[in-house]
Amino acid sequence: MPDKSTTSEAPIPKLKDANTAAADTNAAPAPSGPARKIYTILKYGDPILEKPSNAVSKFDAELAELAEDMFATMYAAQGIGLAAPQIGKSIRLTVVDVTGGKNPEAKIVLVNPEIIAFEGEKREEEGCLSIPGFRGYVVRPQFVTIRAQDGKGESFEIRGEDLLARAFCHEIDHLNGILFLQHLSMLKRDMIRRKIKKLRKQGEW
């Protein structure tokens, strides 16, 4: 999701707010080493983007590395959220930072996330790193509560409001093979698809 300012059973966990979840290192610590890998973000039309992803069952250094590479890729694209399918990996992993990298404590890693509660509604303009250059108004819950695992496999719950709630919903949609286009009116959706088809014919997509 782009930054709008630019264009086995675990026990029931305690509820965290976004800041607490990040401060508690919900991502496994990123190993020190070479510069992070910047992935190519897949564009609309790639079949993996519309396919439900697989649950993560292995929590290791490789997963931690991937999460950090996803943050780096997201920041490079000026985004605030990125899901693994967007870089060609069909697993239920997403990263979110609504500060766009300005606050390291705002980094959130969600593994195998699910929405367990929501309330309210807000209609705001939304875009997607996999559909660059196109935006549309989408109705999302104003508040959502997510149950997920962190980079170490520990379960937790986190509540998001407004932009954070929107980012959570947008990224979890990606893990379910749903793009924000599917939330638009048929007229708006078809218009965007026609423009993308034209760009593809011109070799610009």
Rounded CA-CA distance 188/182 in Å is 10
Which amino acid would we find at residue 148?
A
Q: What is the 3-state secondary structure (H, E, C) of 98-119?
A: CCCCCCHHHCEEEEEEEEEEEE
Is 68 noted as a catalytic residue in this protein?
no
Contacts of 161 (CB under 8 A, 6+ apart): 142, 143
**Percentages (nearest 5) of helix, strand, coil residues in the chain:** 30, 25, 40
CB 70 within 8 A of CB 171: no
CB 137 within 8 A of CB 45: no
Residue among 114, 121, 161, 171 flagged as catalytic: 171
- Catalytic residues, by residue number, are 171
